[in-house]
Amino acid sequence: MLMRISSNKVKSIKQFFKQELKDIYPIEEIQGFIFLAFEHYLGYSKTDVLLNDEKTVSESELLKFNFLVKDLKKQKPIQYILGKTEFYGLNFNVAPGVLIPRPETEELVEMIIKENKDRNQLNILDIGTGSGCIAISLKKYLPMASVFAFDISKDALNIAQGNALLNDVEVNFEQVDILNYNEFSHGIMLDIIVSNPPYVLKSEKELMQKNVLDHEPHLALFVNDNEPFLFYKAIGAYAKEYLKDNGILYFEINEKYDHEIIAVFKEMGFSNCSVIKDLNGKNRFLRVNK
Ligand code: GLN
């Protein structure tokens, strides 16, 4: 049963969050929720939240905090509840039809920007774009590039389109199932192909957190145990046709299968493969040169 917030004061709202959520989330995470909620509903900065304990909010605002805590108790991700998140310093709208952008993926974007910022004209394709976070941040920080993005899901493409508008960049989105890409050709030769495809094995489900498993799109996360490299193979085949001879492939990968994924690309005739660790020291990214 949800308690009532004891008064309209900021300090009571903060207490309410901590009291109601302490059995489910660590205190640092609850503190993060408090900051995000006050920013979203009242436009408060972190300092405002810390320094205005005695300030009061209206009944209808109080109700919003109440509903938020109710949803958080169900372990619904706060990004879906508020409908937004930040990625690489940019704002993105998110909904349950797309994966919530991850910090690891920011590292992938950063690597691509660093390695390619001095090049002139670039054609970049993001396969399985979801919210559009990779494609849009690349276009924002490599403005001379032409950026294309595929997704199988119309729902995801609508969200991604909205995010391109929100960030004031032009990305060419196409509904493409990369496993059947023969139906689609834009005939453009690419310098870079990037993808964060589904790479979690269905048998790894039990290792995942409830908030991910119950709320995020399984289409974007999971592959069958008997075909763990399905998307890497399909993207490799696509790259054979549409990646320029000196082109580069960048991937996010399942840290447990770096050797196997490299073997997949070697077998397809790609030469230079390097695995890059993420900030947690896990083998998280793969760069393949054609
Ligand atoms: N890293 C994501 C997770 O842990 C998975 C992303 C993916 O499957 N591409 O939930």
CB atoms within 10 A of CB 61: 15
In a domain, 244, yes or no: yes
Verify that 41 and 138 share a domain, yes or no.
no
Whether 221 lines ligand 1, by a CB cut-off of 6 Å, is yes
pTM over 0.85: yes
Shared-domain flag, residues 26 and 114 = no
Q: What is the pLDDT of residue 42?
A: 97
Pocket test for ligand 1, best of 94, 99, 223, 231 (most atoms within 8 A of CB): 99
Residue 144 and residue 180 in one domain: yes
Please indicate, yes or no, if residue 92 is contained in any of the structural domains.
no
- Per the domain annotation, does 80 fall within a domain? no
Q: Which of 42, 74, 106 is the last residue of a domain?
A: 74
One domain, residues 16 and 123: no
- Residue 88 belongs to a domain: no
Cα 214 to averaged position of ligand 1 atoms, centre (Å): 14
Looking at the fold, whether 56 and 181 belong to one and the same domain comes out as no
196 and 115 in a common domain = yes
pLDDT tens-digit readout, 47-87: 999 999 999 999 999 999 999 999 999 999 999 999 999 99
- 227 and 142 together in one domain: yes
Residues 118 and 236 in one domain: yes
Give CA separation, 230 vs 10, 226, 286, in Å: 51, 9, 16
State residue 186's pLDDT score.
Answer: 74
> What is the domain count for the chain?
2
1 belongs to a structural domain: no
Q: 196 with 143, same domain?
A: yes
Say yes or no: CB of residue 231 within 6 Å of ligand 1: no
161 and 22 assigned to the same domain: no
Q: Is residue 44 part of a domain?
A: yes
Residue 16, amino acid: F
274 SS3 class: strand
Q: What is the pLDDT of residue 78?
A: 98
Residue 196 CB–ligand 1 contact under 6 Å = yes
Give the range of the structural domain holding residue 51, as residue numbers without chain letter: 10-74
pLDDT at 187: 78
**pLDDT at site 2:** 59
CATH number, residue 269:
3.40.50.150
Contacts of 160 by beta carbon, 8 Å cutoff, 6+ apart:
98, 129, 130, 131, 132, 135, 136, 149, 151, 171, 173
Question: Do 51 and 169 sit in the same domain of this protein?
Answer: no
pLDDT beneath 70: ranges in the chain: 1-3, 183-184
Do 53 and 126 lie in one domain? The reply is no
**102 Cβ closer than 6 Å to some ligand 1 atom:** yes
Q: Is residue 27 part of a domain?
A: yes
CB atoms within 10 A of CB 7: 14
What is the whole-number distance in angstroms between the Cα of residue 117 and the centre of ligand 1? 27
The CA distance from 228 to 200, in Å, is 8
